[in-house]
Amino acid sequence: MLFLEGVPKLAAVTGWPLTYTRSPILHNYWCARYGIDGLYLRLPLAPEHFERGIRALQALGFAGLNVTIPHKEAAFALVDRHGASAQRAGSVNTLVFEPDGQIRGECTDGLGYLDSLREAGVTLPRKALVLGAGGASRAVCAALLDAGCTLALANRTRSRAENIVAALGNGDVIDWSGWTDCLAEFDLLVNTTSLGMAGQEGHDWASCLTKADKALVVSDIVYMPLETPLLAAARARGLKGVDGLGMLINQARPGFDAWFGVYPEADPVLRARLVETLE
Ligand SMILES: NC(=O)c1ccc[n+]([C@@H]2O[C@H](COP(=O)([O-])OP(=O)(O)OC[C@H]3O[C@@H](n4cnc5c(N)ncnc54)[C@H](OP(=O)(O)O)[C@@H]3O)[C@@H](O)[C@H]2O)c1
């Protein structure tokens, strides 16, 4: 909602190339819902202009930004202060321009992930198996560990899983070729690999789940498609599945609060609006 008198609060998402992002739908929906004179923009920024671009937006009075691929490392290096979430995740997806001129960096992916489980009615698991050790995995692993879960990690490239466990100071690494055999030990399976994304559908998830306990919760942070092949295989076995859209919505809430001053709800109307964009 733009009120036209006064100066709206401004925030944005930046990345390169930022051809499509759902973040403006989320934040502008919340501005309208809470009657906030605010605007959230999509501002692609080439890597060579990243730092100058961020400082220019700070000078223009923006409240902060989300940063996405390929700027998360540059954002981590740029900020004056790392929030606890950024330290643990080793990355920054949210920049907050503080009144004292400092830039604070946070990573809200882990909190967003835990909130998505709660929203789906899943109680915190005792023992979680995380598949994948890319950019999103460490935030999810840190959040699960810090919430009190026992954690194991399996990744095609084992050394990347070992690096995450070493950085977080906790967790076991299981061979990519062996995780299906010990699946019965876990009550949560999380896919943070890109397997299952549009174009990467070929994995035989049904065979992977044959040793799953019937109480296993299966969650996939991939949200395009919403019903991933893993979730379809889980539901076919009668297992509870949690899709990745909840994480996408919930990771945006702390940033909105920091910039616009309201901790927003992840309501069903917003979710339905986002689902339309995935279909
Ligand atoms: N729901 C949300 O809010 C949210 C947030 C962030 C990310 N995501 C989604 O999460 C997924 C991963 O994102 P990311 O940023 O972490 O990606 P990334 O850094 O590129 O990591 C990709 C991961 O997938 C693994 N992988 C890729 N192809 C594979 C294959 N054929 N077989 C086995 N493993 C394979 C990689 O293993 P290697 O290490 O062996 O290469 C790595 O662990 C994407 O689909 C992204 O859209 C969702």
Here the CATH number for the domain that contains residue 221 is: 3.40.50.720
Per the rule left: phi > 0, alpha: psi between -120 and 50, beta: everything else, 2 is: beta
Which burial class, exposed, middle or buried, applies to 138 when counting CB atoms under 10 A from its CB (0-12, 13-18, 19+)? buried
User: Is the domain of 103 the same as that of 129?
Assistant: no
Which of 91, 117, 194, 204 best tests ligand 1's pocket when mutated (most atoms within 8 Å of CB)?
A: 194
- Give the structural domain span for 68: 9-108+252-278
User: Residue 191 C-alpha to ligand 1 middle, in angstroms?
Assistant: 8
pLDDT of residue 5: 67
User: Residue 235 C-alpha to ligand 1 middle, in angstroms?
Assistant: 22
Mean pLDDT by 10 residues, the chain (279 residues): 75 95 97 97 98 98 96 96 96 97 98 98 96 95 98 98 98 97 97 92 94 97 95 98 98 98 97 94
Q: In this structure, what CATH number is given to the domain that contains residue 66?
A: 3.40.50.10860
Assess contact for 73 and 91: CB atoms under 8 A: yes
User: Is the domain of 69 the same as that of 172?
Assistant: no
User: Residue 34 C-alpha to ligand 1 middle, in angstroms?
Assistant: 34
Q: Among 272, 190, 196, 256, which residue's Cα sits nearest to residue 227?
A: 196
Query: Angle of helix 253-260 relative to helix 109-119, nearest 10 degrees?
Result: 120
User: Is the domain of 17 the same as that of 36?
Assistant: yes
Catalytic residue status for 214: no
In a domain, 4, yes or no: no
User: Is the domain of 193 the same as that of 225?
Assistant: yes
